[in-house]
Structure 1
């Protein structure tokens, strides 16, 4: 039998009596140096776990072969980003008992004095920061570690234009415990040492203008054209907009670059689809820029950033993106694709209303070795009632080419 025993925060006063009783029944203990020191009177064999997991598994296998009851001491709770999945996979035929401990995430929420039943819990220890939601809809708890320090997490949010409030707890329950309430902007430049840190990130508080309500704003796919504030700037109609967004393959965490954003219709819908991600809308026309801001306010969009200027120059300094949507290029598609900060494997979707722009887009994608290149031509026809004997007449929209592809991964 293998017992996986949670040590909680790691100090003696937080080790429950039931945990101590379970350890007494083991013939061998494996754990980190701090965990083993919690049981100075243990009579069996002890093995210190190092960073070499293969060595740890060999020692555990040896104990099992000798018929010894093996106890594996882990910090926090065994079921939360710990060794439980690994041991169940490596020892599928052994009986495994789990003894829970207080996780550092749980401890951090307690220190903050806030509930955590609706919080999102994540770890960036050995994982990409891209897994973090940019647009926070709820409080999230984060385990940090390695190069992904609290400062690195704060820089990630600042890079994409977000500045959430943050609580950082370091060495919780130990004499050197440190608790800091700050925000991403201040934390990113902090020289503090947070080597055993837990972070709590809070959603930014937003105030709705007047009687506006998030529930009153369309949240579906394909917002009616009439819902957008228009002005004299051309706008991608809903029939085409839906196809562009579908080709973009946007998920909840997608980071999107919208080049030639116009009134912001595509960017607004993309931001609603990418609830945890963000949209960078690049536009050079001053009237269009103001329309983007007005539509952003109307639809209460927090995860859209307006970049004033013309591509490709305006693309400098924009962080990595998963999708690039190009609506206006002024004949510089090649240069825009070269400058767009698209991650390997990222999607590009372009619209064209002339054969010449279509040809330029195709040539640019091929010359840059894009993969899965696809072209669709769409012409929508709306039938408008004339109010005379229920007669409806066709109102044909201009044909639009939609070109899509995927950036090469090597």
Structure 2
């Protein structure tokens, strides 16, 4: 096993004395081609091209001597340190960090980044990274081949954002380009690169706060807000108790894409977005779309609003993770189930209607649960009943693909 492993971050600046000292004593150096070409790398040291980090870690673990790993930026931030410290290798590492690519990118853009979300985009995680960009006003994306600015821009269709694309930071070929998201696919971009994605209305925490990213304490407490804040009567499927139960069953979260079909006042869509999810709100009524847009502005969340009739309007929407169906009947339930989201919630006014929806979801491979929700509003001055509502809450979880 290696006697000592030092991980050195490099951002294009001259290496520190600590980094030079560790390199000078190294008998094995691992890194990318541009790292191994640095003049400080000893000529006598064994060199490993850092392709697969797991393979390199095994070589380092079996090396009898002193090893150095060179990596871009801060190697503890989405870097090689996590892999090297894995229990299967048994390596103890010392880290000499440099400026991370994310910090360098925001510095080139002249922007603060304590209010930004940071995500990593690989081909397998690209869709979730895009959902974060849909849902938030400032996101830094650490890209990879096959999940770069062009792919990011293509999947952002329907959502206007500005991209600040920082290529090969810290090298002689460094370049910063600013363009709209719909133009990103028109270019070929060099790796490595970082994309800063900005746009949308200014949120309540833009002036600074105490936590990186979106402050979860910025809004009112509770999953649901009182009906009166949405500017008028709510539909049968939007009442507070049913809305809270729908949110609890779906559990929207950061990186998810939520469809809200039959968005009505925008109450559910707004509250799902407040949980950090990307939301597409759909309704056939222009007045509902306008109310939803107003609610999103009022509460500082990002929504994409689509005017059209389901199920036909759903055909060109990106794949959802979870779906709330507020209206549209059996045809909409079947069309949504055909898209295979992980969870679906809807409601019915009668037992017969609930049974029909439940059978349809079961036939599509969903495990179905149904609950009868009854709520009574009381006037607390006289403790008299003011309104009563009854609804069947149906939720389906995908059990087979």
**Alignment TM-score > 0.5, same fold:** yes
Partner of 1:375: 370
Return the alpha-carbon distance in structure 2 between the equivalents of residues 114 and 287 of structure 1. Answer: 37
Partner of 1:134: 133
Give, in angstroms, the shift of residue 384 of structure 1: 3.0
- Would you say the 8 A contact 2:153–2:182 is kept in 1? yes
Residue of 263, 277, 290 corresponding to 2:265 = 263
Partner of 1:24: 24
Give, in angstroms, the shift of residue 305 of structure 1: 2.6
TM-score by length of 2: 0.84
Kindly indicate whether residue 400 of structure 2 is the aligned counterpart of residue 398 of structure 1: no
Residue of 352, 358, 381 corresponding to 1:356 = 352
Kindly indicate whether residue 362 of structure 2 is the aligned counterpart of residue 366 of structure 1: yes
TM-score by length of 1: 0.83
Structural mapping, 1:342-353, within 5 Å: 342-343=340-341, 346-353=342-349
- Would you say the 8 A contact 2:334–2:361 is kept in 1? no
Query: Aligned with 2:63: secondary structure?
Result: helix
Partner of 2:212: none
Give, in angstroms, the shift of residue 404 of structure 1: 0.4
Partner of 1:60: 60
Query: Aligned with 1:162: secondary structure?
Result: coil
1:262-313 residue CA offsets vs partner (Å, 9 max, x unmatched): 233322322323x3x222222223443444344444x345422332222211
Runs of 5+ in structure 1 lacking a partner?
209-214
Give, in angstroms, the shift of residue 148 of structure 1: 0.6
Return the alpha-carbon distance in structure 1 between the equivalents of residues 52 and 219 of structure 2. Answer: 53
Return the alpha-carbon distance in structure 2 between the equivalents of residues 3 and 336 of structure 1. Answer: 55
Q: Structure 1's 230 and 186: CA in aligned 2 closer, same or farther, altered over 3 A? A: same
Partner of 1:122: 119
Return the alpha-carbon distance in structure 1 between the equivalents of residues 68 and 203 of structure 2. Answer: 52
- Would you say the 8 A contact 2:133–2:197 is kept in 1? no
Q: Structure 1's 60 and 285: CA in aligned 2 closer, same or farther, altered over 3 A? A: closer
Return the alpha-carbon distance in structure 2 between the equivalents of residues 103 and 301 of structure 1. Answer: 30
Give, in angstroms, the shift of residue 368 of structure 1: 0.7
Q: Structure 1's 54 and 236: CA in aligned 2 closer, same or farther, altered over 3 A? A: closer
Kindly indicate whether residue 186 of structure 2 is the aligned counterpart of residue 190 of structure 1: yes
- Would you say the 8 A contact 1:323–1:342 is kept in 2? no
Give, in angstroms, the shift of residue 246 of structure 1: 1.6
Moved more, 360-369 or 137-146: 137-146
Return the alpha-carbon distance in structure 1 between the equivalents of residues 85 and 110 of structure 2. Answer: 34
1:339-383 residue CA offsets vs partner (Å, 9 max, x unmatched): 5x443xx11111000222111111101111102x11100111122
- Segments ≥4 residues shifted beyond 4 Å: 52-55, 90-95, 135-138, 215-219, 231-235
Query: Aligned with 2:22: secondary structure?
Result: helix
- Would you say the 8 A contact 2:366–2:400 is kept in 1? no
Kindly indicate whether residue 157 of structure 2 is the aligned counterpart of residue 154 of structure 1: no
Return the alpha-carbon distance in structure 2 between the equivalents of residues 69 and 303 of structure 1. Answer: 51
How many residue pairs match? The answer is 386
Q: Structure 1's 17 and 312: CA in aligned 2 closer, same or farther, altered over 3 A? A: same
Give, in angstroms, the shift of residue 154 of structure 1: 2.3
